[in-house]
A and B are shown apart, each in its own frame.
Chain A
Amino acid sequence: GAVVSQHPSRVICKSGTSVKIECRSLDFQATTMFWYRQFPKKSLMLMATSNEGSKATYEQGVEKDKFLINHASLTLSTLTVTSAHPEDSSFYICSASRTGSSNQPQHFGDGTRLSIL
C-alpha cells in the first residue's frame, strides 16, 4: 500500500526554537498534502492544506506565520513550527492524497510528537 513517511517521530526542544517536520510520499505523487494537529484523546484538527508549487491554505484560527508550510515537490511537504512555545506541544500528523483523485483515501504518516520545554 501507499506509504507516507514523517520525520522526526519525536522532538523535544526548548521554548523559542523552530522545529521542522518533514512529510514524504514514498511511492506516489501527492499534489495535495494535509497537516493535522491532534490533542490528547481528541480528534484530528486540520491545520492547513499544502499544495505543490503554491501557497498553503490555512484553516481558520491557524497562524500562518507560526506554522510555515512548504510543498516544494510532489513528494515532500514540510511544516515548520517557528518560535515554538509549550502550548505548541502536540501530536502533528501529515497525510497525502494521490494526484487528481479526490475519491482516493488519504495516506497518513506516523506522526510527530512535539514537546516544548
Chain B
Amino acid sequence: AQSVAQPEDQVNVAEGNPLTVKCTYSVSGNPYLFWYVQYPNRGLQFLLKYITGDNLVKGSYGFEAEFNKSQTSFHLKKPSALVSDSALYFCAVSTSGTYKYIFGTGTRLKVLA
C-alpha cells in the first residue's frame, strides 16, 4: 500500500536555528513529492516539489528539501527558522498519471523566539 509518514507530530526549534521536518514515503513507481504549509483556518500553500532531476529542491520562503531515493525520504529544511514559520506542514506524494495525493499526517512546527 502506498503511504506517507511524518513521524513527528510537533517540532520545536529556536528562532535562528536550522529546522528539519521529516517525511518518508512508500509508493510504486517514481514519486512526485510535495510540501505544503497550512496556517490556522486557511488552505494549504504550496512550498516546493520534487519531480525529477536535482535531489535538492529550493522553494518558497527559504525552504528547501532533499530527495533521497535510497532512504525514500523527502525532508523539509530551512537554514534559519523564523517565528512566522510556525504552522502545520504537510508532505504529499503522487505518481505519474495519478492526480490524487497521499498526504502525511502533518507536523506542527513551533518556532520559539
A positions within 8 Å CB-CB of B: 1, 4, 6, 32, 34, 42-44, 46, 49, 91, 93, 95, 97, 102-103, 105-111, 113
Q: Is the CB of B41 within 8 A of A102?
A: no
Q: Given A43-B103, A102-B96, A111-B42, output 5 extra A-B contacts at Cβ < 8 Å.
A: A44-B44, A46-B101, A97-B99, A103-B51, A107-B46
B12-35 residues at the A interface, CB under 8 angstroms: 32, 34
Q: What is the number of contacts between chain A and chain B, taking CB atoms within 8 Å?
A: 59
Q: Is the CB of B46 within 8 A of A46?
A: no
Query: Which listed residue (B95, B99, B106) contacts A49, Cβ 8 A?
Result: B99
Q: Is the CB of B43 within 8 A of A103?
A: no
Q: Is the CB of A106 within 8 A of B45?
A: no
Q: Is the CB of B41 within 8 A of A108?
A: no
B positions within 8 Å CB-CB of A: 32, 34, 36, 41-46, 49, 51, 90, 94-101, 103-106
Inside 8 A of A102's CB, which chain B residues have their CB?
32, 94-99
Q: How far is the CA of A103 from the CA of B43 in the complex (A)?
A: 20
Chain A: minimal CB distance from B21 (Å):
14
Give 20 CB contacts A-B under 8 Å: A34-B101, A43-B103, A43-B104, A44-B90, A49-B99, A93-B43, A93-B44, A102-B94, A102-B98, A103-B49, A103-B96, A105-B49, A106-B99, A108-B36, A108-B43, A108-B44, A109-B43, A110-B42, A110-B43, A111-B41
